[in-house]
């Protein structure tokens, strides 16, 4: 744990107090839920899980205001189940960033390497999972669920994505359960120890997220909160919404986030063309996406911080149009065009690429 700031003693004491309270409240909540809620349904499935190497690979060409960048990406994910209650999981990220030098010549650049998460999950009971290690910060829904390149509807992340997301190092409690036939509830609460280690870099913070899913109308709503326990001790808030109507192949999603760095929102609709009466073979594999988003730079946001967090350094609006074609399960060709409006400069953003998800067993699969 890193205690390098000047007010080390006081900050660390407050951190321990806040973390202790967060842990205590989580366990009280989970204990109460275990007592009140019905136990799990029994299943007829008896196969033992096997370790898996999965993940995704992709290759993207981005053209921003006439400047071309090539980005090959690989995200290996290792899943190691242990017994009936444990899962060890980790994800790495290798992303190339290759461009031509200003004077011309061959493409060159660097490959960024990151450890997104490396965590041990203990499924304590049907309503509580305890996670220890490095995990994706549960803020909003994009970071944990929509980030993988084979899942996201548009190749580029939303402008507000860096707000309160990334990875945390510490302890997390989470779970989901049915409130009644019409509503499910899910929760996460966590604290993270700050570290400046290059591979395990994380901020010192506490936070939580609460979400509701209504299976009938297929609507999900949720709210997130995070408090930094270092420097400005700033708060961050977020809201997310998703709707997948049963009658049409539409996915409507939106997020709002606010912190001392800035605030903003995105709203996106992804529509599968499977209901069109012509060219059925092609149309059922085709998806069109529209996204509108806006970012309002915070008063504290300077150029250095904007670069560090990969946020726009001033207010920005952006509209994106995307077209995806699913070649087969887990493999798609993706393309998008965006127009960003900013006080500094307006710019066109073009992206085309291919994304693939793989999954390989690392053990005996038994009789098929």
Partner 1 sequence: MLKKILIFLWSLALASSVWGAAAAGNGQGLDTNTASATTAATRVSNDAAERRLEGERRFHENCGRCHAAPHKFPPRMMATIVRHMRVRAMITDEDMHLILDYMTQ
Q: Of 200 and 210, which has the nearer Cβ to partner 1? A: 210
- Convert 324-338 to b/e letters by CB count within 10 Å (16 or more is b): bebeeeebbebbbeb
Do the beta carbons of residue 165 and residue 140 sit within 8 Å?
A: yes
**76 is a contact residue toward partner 1 (CB under 8 A):** no
**What would the DSSP string read from start to end of 154-193?**
SSSPPTTTTTT-SEEEEEEEEEEEEEETTEEEEEEEEEE-
CB 75, min distance to partner 1, A: 14
**263 is a contact residue toward partner 1 (CB under 8 A):** no
Among 81, 92, 109, 269, binds partner 1 (CB under 8 A): 81
**DSSP character at residue 49:** P
**123 is a contact residue toward partner 1 (CB under 8 A):** yes
Among 4, 36, 41, 247, binds partner 1 (CB under 8 A): 41
Burial of 354 (0-12, 13-18, 19+ CB in 10 A): middle
Among 56, 133, 140, 146, binds partner 1 (CB under 8 A): 146
**356 is a contact residue toward partner 1 (CB under 8 A):** no
Among 140, 155, 175, 338, binds partner 1 (CB under 8 A): 175
**20 is a contact residue toward partner 1 (CB under 8 A):** yes
The span from the CA of 235 to the CA of 256, in Å, is 14
Per-residue binding string, partner 1, 204-233, x by CB under 8 A, is -------x-x-x--x-x-------------
The span from the CA of 154 to the CA of 323, in Å, is 8
How many CB atoms are located within 10 Å of the residue 67 CB?
10
Per-residue binding string, partner 1, 310-329, x by CB under 8 A, is ----------------x--x
Q: Of 184 and 230, which has the nearer Cβ to partner 1? A: 184
The span from the CA of 214 to the CA of 178, in Å, is 10
**160 is a contact residue toward partner 1 (CB under 8 A):** no
Number of H helices, E strands in the chain: 3, 16
Select from 84-92, 224-232, 301-309, 337-345 the region that touches partner 1 (CB under 8 A): 84-92
């Amino acid at each position: 744990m890193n205690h390098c700031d000047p007010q080390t003693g006081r900050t660390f004491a407050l951190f321990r107090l806040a973390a202790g309270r967060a842990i205590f409240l989580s366990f009280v909540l989970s204990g109460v839920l275990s007592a009140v809620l019905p136990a799990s349904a029994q299943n007829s499935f008896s196969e033992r899980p096997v370790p898996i190497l999965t993940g995704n690979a992709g290759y993207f060409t981005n053209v921003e205001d006439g400047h071309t960048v090539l980005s090959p990406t690989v995200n290996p994910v290792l899943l190691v189940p242990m017994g009936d209650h444990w899962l060890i999981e980790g994800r790495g990220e290798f992303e190339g960033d290759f461009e031509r030098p200003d004077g011309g010549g061959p493409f060159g650049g660097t490959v960024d390497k990151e450890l997104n998460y490396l965590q041990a999950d203990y499924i304590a009971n049907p309503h509580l999972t305890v996670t220890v290690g490095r995990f994706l910060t549960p803020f909003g829904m994009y970071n944990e669920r929509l980030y993988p390149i084979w899942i996201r509807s548009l190749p580029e992340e939303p402008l507000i994505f860096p707000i309160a997301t990334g990875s945390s190092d510490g302890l997390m409690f989470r779970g989901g359960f049915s409130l009644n036939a019409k509503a499910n509830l899910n929760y996460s609460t966590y604290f993270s120890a700050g570290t400046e280690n290059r591979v395990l870099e994380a901020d010192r913070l506490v936070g939580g997220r609460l979400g509701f899913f209504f299976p009938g109308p297929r609507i999900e709503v949720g709210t997130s909160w995070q408090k930094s326990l270092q420097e400005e001790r700033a708060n961050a808030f977020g809201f997310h919404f998703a709707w997948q109507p049963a009658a049409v192949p539409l996915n409507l999603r939106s997020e709002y986030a606010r912190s001392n760095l800035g605030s903003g929102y995105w709203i996106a609709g992804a529509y599968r063309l499977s209901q069109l009466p012509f060219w059925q073979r092609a149309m059922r594999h085709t998806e069109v996406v529209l996204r509108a988003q806006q970012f309002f730079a915070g008063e504290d946001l300077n150029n250095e911080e904007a670069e560090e967090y990969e946020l726009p350094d001033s207010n920005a609006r952006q509209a994106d149009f995307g077209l995806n074609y699913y070649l087969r399960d887990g493999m798609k060709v993706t393309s998008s065009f965006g127009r960003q409006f900013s006080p500094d400069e307006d710019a066109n953003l073009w992206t085309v690429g291919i994304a693939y998800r793989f999954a390989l067993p690392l053990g005996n699969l038994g009789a098929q």
